[in-house]
Amino acid sequence: MTKKTLFLNGWYFTKQPLGSTLEDIKERKEAFRAVNLPHDWLIYQGKELYEDSTGWYRKVFSCEKKQDYRYEIYFEGVYMDTTVYLNGQVLGEWKYGYSSFFFDMTPLLQEGDNELLVRVNYQAPNSRWYSGAGIYRNVYLRKQPKCHFITDSLYITPKKKSEDMWQVEVSAELSQECLNQENSILMVQILDREGTEVSKAELPFEKAVNQADGIVTAQIMTQVSNPELWNLEEPYLYHCRLVLKDENKVLDETKERFGFRIFTFDTDKGFFLNGVHVKLNGVCEHHDFGALGAVFNKEAMRRKLEILRKMGVNSIRSTHNMPAIGLLELADEMGFLIIDEAFDMWERPKTTYDYARFFPQWYRKDVRSWVRRDRNHPCILFWSIGNEIYDTHADARGQELTRSLMEETRKHDPAYHAQITIGSNYMPWENAQKCADIVKYAGYNYGEKYYDQHHREHPDWFMYGSETASTVQSRGVYHFPYKQSVLADEDEQCSALGNSTTSWGAKSSEMCILTERDREFSMGQFLWTGFDYIGEPTPYHTRNSYFGQIDTAGFEKDSFFLYRGAWTDAKKAPFVHVFPYWNFNPGQLVDVRVASNGAFVELLLNDRSIGEYQIDHEKGTVLTGNWQVPYEPGELTAIAYDENHQEIARESRHSYGEPVKLVMELYQPEKKFTAGNYDLAYVTISAVDAQGYTVEDANQYVEVSVKGAGWLTGLDNGDSTDTDEYKGYCRRMFNGKLLAIVAIGEHKGSIQVKAAAGGLQPAELTIVVSKEISIEGTSFIPEVFANKSGKDAPAWVRRIELTANDGNVFSPDKKQLSVTARIEPQEAMNWIKPEDLIWKTVNDAGIESPLAKVTDVSGFTAKIEAYGDGQFRLRCMTRNGTDIVKVISQLEFQAQGLGEANLNPYGFIAGGMYTYAEGDVGNGNEHGVSTARDGRTVVGFDHVDFGSFGSDRITLPVFELGGEECPIEIWEGIPGKPDSEMLARVIYHKPSIWNVYQEESYKLNRRIKGVTQISFVLHQKIHLKGFSFAPLQKAYEKLYASENDAVYGDTFTVVGREVTGIGNNVTLEYHDMDFGVEGCKSVTICGRTHNDKDAIHISFQEGEQETRQLVEIAGTADGEYQQLTFPLQCVKGSKTVRFIFMPGSNFDFNWVQFHKM
C-alpha cells in the first residue's frame, strides 16, 4: 500500500551565482548549510529581495530499495525553473514556480545512500510581486507498490439524484501493473467526519477497470442518503476511500476529503450555494506571509483566514497562481469559497524572465497538475485560467489560447466541479470581450462602470468583480483632510482615512460596497487585497504593497472595519470602530470617522455628544459617521446602536503621553500549542504611557529574545518604508505595533519571550507548549540571525506638536505669523537640530502652496508670510535621520484680503494642482494627475503667470502604462470655451517603466504670455506628474516686430507678426532685454526694404547711458524677405533696445534675434 511521508528533513542549502552548474556545485559542497523546509532564501536578505542567484538544495537519504515498490518524490511548489538530480543524473525538470510536480525516482535510486540535488534558478524580474525563491512548499516521498493508484488521479463527483439521495461517482487511474490483478476488487467507502462509514460499494476488477489510450482507469459509484451539506456556516466534510484489494489484502488505496454541495449561477440574480443566495465578499491574496516570506505554513494561513473571516470575507482569489494545498484544506474546513487561479501571463510576458518564456511548451502540464491536484476540494468555485492577460486584448490568438486552456481544464474536470473564468482589465475592448464570451463567467478587474452596460449587452454572462478597490492605506497614517483625495505624500505612506485612491481603482471603499450591494446580477467582488504583500508598493518604490485592509503583520487597518460594517451581521457580532487615534496639535481640525454594522452611531468627546449618524446598510449611501472635530486632549468615544436605539457596541481612543513600558499580547491566548507540527505563536508588542493608555504612534526599536521550546522566526511591523530585516532580533514599532513570530519546536515545554526597548520597562511572556506529536520527515532547526542590537539606536522623534503663536488667520494687516514646534520624546532633543526639521506650506493635497512661504526659521520657531487668499497648511516634518520623512505635523491657516496668488510655470506645477477637469480624472503618483483609460479627459490649470514675455517650451513628466504612442493636446484656455486655442498636438512615446515618470519636452506654436489658463486633452490613460516651462531669455529669442513694447513714428502698419511700411523716424522698442554677463556678439534681422537700402540705428540704453550701432540692409531685385546677420560690439547687461529707422525708410520688419558671445 502507498505510504506518503513528509520529506522535509536533512536538507542543506547554498546560494550560488546565477547559472551555476552541477559541476560547479560538486566543488562547493562545503558551502551548504542545514535548513528547514519549506524554505525561501530571499526573505533572509531584506534589502536584496530580488537578487539574481541559483539556489542549490542537497539531501542525502538512505533507501532500502524493494523490488516490488516504486519511489516517487512530490514537490508541492519550487520557485522556479527547477532541475532535480538524483545520484548525479537528471531526474527531471519543472519550469513554473507555482504548480506541483512529481518524479519517479526508482530507475536512478540505489540501495543505501542516495544524493538528491535540486537546482533553482531565480532571475529577476520574473514577477510583478515578491515571489520568493526556493523549495517554499512541502516535499513528500511516496513509496508505492508496483500496482498503485496514480498520484492525484482520484476524482470524486457527488450528484444529487433525489430529495434525499446523492450518488457519488469515483474514479482513479491505476498503474499498468494493476492489469495483472484480474481477481481484485475495487471498493469505495464514504466516511463521515467522525470516521463512521455511511456508504460502501464494491465491484469486481473486470467491471470496475477499463483501459483506453494506454490509461488504466477504475470507476465505481455509491449512494449516500441525506448527507450533511458543505456550506459556509457548516462546512461538513466527508472522506472518500478508494481501495483495490485481493482476498482481503489491500493492494493500494487512496483517500481524500470532499463535500456535498450544489453551485447554481443566475445571470440576473448571481450565485447560489445549496439554493441559498450568497454574495461573494471576497479578497485577492498573494502567497507570502510577510516576515515568513513565501514559505507556506498552515498555521500562518489559518491566522490569515481567521482575521479575514472576522472582516466578513467568505471567498478568496488565489492571485495569480495555484495556491498551496494547505489553503484549500483550510478553506474546506473553515467554509471559504476559492477562485483557484493559474496564470498571470500566457505567451506575452509582463516581465523579462517570467513564465511566458515557458508557457507554450509547459502550460498543458501545468493545467494537468493544477486541476488534478485540486479538483476534489468543495471550496473551489472557479478555475481561473488567467489574470489581466494581454494576449486576450492583443489579437485573435488570445481567443485560441482561451479555448485551449478551457479544453485542457475540462479534460481534467469533465464533471464541472468548478466553472472556468478569467479576470480581465481589458473588458472595454472587443478582443477581451470575445474571450469573456467564450468562458461566460466574466471577471472584471476595475470595470464596475461597465457592469450595467455589459449586463444589457451580454445577458448570458455571469459577471463579478475579480479585482476591485485598489485603494491604498498605511495602518495608523492619516493625511488630512478627508475630503481631499491624496495618493502620495512625503512620508511615502498612504492615508488610512479612506482618501488615498489609485488612478485605476475605486474612489473609496464605500463605492466598492455600494456597487456590489446594488447590483443583484453581480455575483460579488474580490478586493485588491485582503492582506498587504511584499512587492508592488504603488505609488512608491518602497518594499510592501499598501493595498491591503490588513498589513503584512496581520494588523487591521481602518478600511478593514468599513467592510466589516457592510459584510457582518450586527445581531451576531456587533462592533463599532472610531478612527483616527486621538493625539494631535491643539485646535487642529481632525476628521473623525466611525464604522459599524449597527443602525446608528454616535460620537462623544470627553462625554459631550458631537453628533449622530443613521447608517442604512441595505439602501443608504452613507455608510460611516463623519465629523470634523477640533482637537482637545481627552477621550474620544464611538457608540453603536441597533434599530431600537439600544447600545450594542462601544469603542474609545484616548490621548496619551510618552511610553513608559512595553506590553505583549499573544494571538489567541487560549490556543493549545503543539510541538512537532510546525505551529506558530504570534505575539503583538506595543507600548503604554504612565496611565496605561496605548501609545499609538510609538516607534522605538524593540529587541526580542526567545528561549525554550521554540525560536524567533521573524519580526514584522507592516511598514513598507522599513527595510530592516524580517529575519532579525530587533526592529522598530510602526505606529505603536510590532509582531514577533515564534516557531514552536519539536518538543513540548515552555517558551519565554522577552521584549526590551531603550528607556522602557521590558515585557515578558510565557508560551506553554502542552502537546507533542512526532511526524516522520519533519525538521526543526532553530534559526539564527545576525545579532543586531537596538540599544544604541537614537530615540526617534515620535511627535511634533505645533502651536500657532499669533493665531491662524492672515490679513493685509497681518501678513506674517509664527509657529513653534515642540519635539516628543524629550530624548530626541539629544540629537535633533532645528535644521533637521522641514517646514513647508502646502495645500490640502500636500502640494507646495503658492499662497504662503516659510520665510525664516529661528530655532524651533518658523515665520510664515502669506501672499494670496485661500486656505493652506503649515507642515513641520522630520526624516529621523533616514532618507524618508517619518513624521508629519500640520496646522490649518487662512489668508484673506491679500488678492489672488498665481502659479509659477518656470518652477514646477504639480498635476494635482489642477482646477478644472472633464472625464474620469484621478490621482497620479507623486502628486500627479491621471487620465481616463478610455474617452476624453481634459485637465486645466488656472492663474498661471507666464510674465510679459512668456514661453513656448514645455516639459511633461509622463508615466504611460503600455509604452504606446500617446497624443496630447496642449491648449491655452479650456477647449471649446471662448478665446481658447490649441497650441500644440504632441506625441509622447517612450518604453514604459512601471511607476516611473519620464520627461519629454515640446515646443508650442507660440509663446504663452501673462496670467492665463493652460489645459491638456488626452484620450488614453497616463499619469501626468505636472509640467514646467523653460524660462526664455528674451534678449536671445526670436522677437517678432509686432511683439515690440512700443512703436511710434510717422508711418507704419502692424500686420500679424510684422510691422510693415515703416517710414520716417519710426522707432520700435523692446524692454527688459537682459544680455547677461557674457553679452551678445551679433544680430539677425529678417525684413525687406523697398529702397536701394535702409539704415537702422540699434540703440542700447541702460539708465542714462546709451550706445548705438548702425546696420544697413540693401534691397533685392525680387523684393523678397532677407535674413541678414550683423556683427555687434559686445553688449552686456539689461537694456532697452530700440530700432530707429532714418527718414526716407520704407521697410517691412518681420523679426529680429540677438546671438550670444
Catalytic residue among 388, 448, 492, 602: 388
The residue type found at 585 is N
Residues with Cβ within 8 Å of 616's Cβ and at least 6 positions away in sequence, in order, are 599, 622
Around 395, how many Cα atoms within 13 Å sit in the side-chain half-sphere? 3
Catalytic residue among 408, 467, 536, 972: 467
Cross-strand bridge partners of residue 803: 820
Segment holding 256, helix H or strand E: strand 249-258
Cross-strand bridge partners of residue 1137: 1070, 1100
Read off φ and ψ for residue 675, nearest 5 degrees: -85, 155
CA distance 861 to 878: 15
Which string of DSSP letters, residue by residue, matches 567-629?
A: HS-TTTS--EEEES-S---TT-EEEEEEEESSSEEEEEETTEEEEEEE--TTT-S--SEEEEE
Nearest in space to 919 (alpha carbons), one of 944, 940, 946: 940
Query: Catalytic residue at 388?
Result: yes
CA distance 753 to 765: 5
353 touches 285 (CB < 8 A): no
CB atoms near residue 407 (< 10 Å): 11
> CA distances (Å), 833 to each of 245, 821, 838, in order?
82, 12, 11
| Greatest C-alpha distance within the chain | 130
CA distance 173 to 179: 12
CA distance 972 to 977: 10
CA distance 434 to 1035: 60
CA angle 937, 939, 942 (to 5 degrees): 160
1138 touches 1067 (CB < 8 A): yes
74 touches 100 (CB < 8 A): yes
CA distance 771 to 750: 11
Cross-strand bridge partners of residue 614: 600
CA angle 961, 345, 120 (to 5 degrees): 115
Scan for cell 524580474, then name that residue: 125
- The three cell numbers locating residue 466: 475579480
CA distance 75 to 80: 12
> CA distances (Å), 68 to each of 107, 110, 141, 179, in order?
13, 14, 16, 15
> CA distances (Å), 561 to each of 243, 371, 668, in order?
49, 35, 20
Which residues are the active-site residues? 388, 467
